[in-house]
Amino acid sequence: MKNIAILGSTGSIGQQALEVIGNNPDRFAVEVLTANNNVDLLVEQAKKFRPNAVVIANEEKYDFVRTALSGEDIKVYAGSAALAQVVEMGSIDLVLTAMVGYSGLIPTINAVKAKKQIALANKETLVVAGDLINNLAIENKVDILPVDSEHSAIFQCLAGEYMNPVEKVIITCSGGPFHGMDEKSIAGVTPQNALKHPNWDMGAKITIDSATLMNKGFEVIEAKWLFGLKPEQIEVVVHPQSIIHSMVQFCDGSIKAQLGLPDMRLPIQYAFSFPERVCNTFPRLNFTDFPTLTFSAPDTKIFRNLALAYEALQKGGNLACILNAANEIVVEAFLKGRISFSEIWKVNELIMKKATFIQKPTLDDYMATDLEARAYASEMVSTLELK
């Protein structure tokens, strides 16, 4: 039995993780559930899975959760400090970090320091502070198991190949709902248009990031830290069918690929059960349903965010932290109708040039960088809104 803490249990990944756990009650148990604001779903999940503890990050909603669970043998905590501390519980075997954005960084750091196995769905943790997380993982002998479908695919392709040099990895990308559109058409898309991902069911923030290719850019950065790659060893290929999730090319030219229907439950289950593969009833891929698989290069002139991510990867330091912070602000602004779609990457690029660059940042530097970049981005959004 593996006791699992789910950080972000009410989000898309968290809900699918609970489905995996519910399908395997003899293997997995829920030890901790956390949410930011969705108290109704958090309470419903807690009553069904009966964790040891729940944490609601929004302290204003603590009384609601505590009252709703007053008849249950479940501890209730609130606030960011409780969220960061709960991962240290001795009864936890594995922590699924499924929170969105920068908020996942400190809880992940604490979980690694507490020597908990990590199932990583919060890519921003490695985007913001990959060097710091990797060093802590090595120091504490902690495994970081990827949950993103692309990184899980690479991880699976590398199984049994630890002695064989990797020439490059090929991360696939659906292209999002606007693949093939010109710059003029892109500028006029609405949040409603952008939230219609063609293949995957994700939360609003990640869906917008997928539409701008920022999500793919973050995956490029994440791949560097997960697999020890150089920027030139990471290639992105647009594959609209989303059947091949990623590939690894070895030094002899051979390529291994991991295929399957777009279903996040599979990489979640694999991270939970690794190194075992657990039987399930998920839908199976029928090749005759996909007689044609297509591939093309991404257009980084129109979708600038992907190019910005490579720039951050090449330069290193705190530049990816700057990019992540700016992007969180501008995506929220776009969702609220305050800026246009194409202004997302325009602001990101400007903030990357404006914020203070630090070549060898500490954790305090990362935290200061995040605040500075957010302030600059908020100021820029307000300026654009007045035009």
Structure confidence by residue, pLDDT tens digits, 213-234: 999 999 999 999 999 999 999 9
Residue 329 lies in a domain: yes
Same-domain status, 172 and 228: yes
Same-domain status, 237 and 171: yes
Structure confidence by residue, pLDDT tens digits, 57-109: 999 999 999 999 998 999 999 999 999 999 999 999 999 999 878 888 999 99
pLDDT at 361: 96
SS3 content of the chain, % helix, strand, coil (to 5): 50, 15, 35
This prediction has a pTM of 0.92
What distances in angstroms separate CA 127 from CA 19, 26, 310, one per listed residue?
28, 35, 12
Same-domain status, 59 and 123: yes
Residue 274 lies in a domain: no
Residue 305 lies in a domain: no
Residue 220 lies in a domain: yes
Residue 359 structural domain: 316-387
DSSP H or E stretch at residue 370: helix 363-386
Same-domain status, 181 and 51: no
The answer to whether the CB of 78 falls within 8 A of the CB of 95 is no
Q: Which class for 368: exposed (0-12), middle (13-18), buried (19 or more C-beta within 10 A)?
A: middle
Same-domain status, 135 and 152: no
Same-domain status, 94 and 221: no
Same-domain status, 248 and 194: yes
Structure confidence by residue, pLDDT tens digits, 340-355: 999 999 999 999 999 9
Same-domain status, 182 and 54: no
Same-domain status, 163 and 34: no
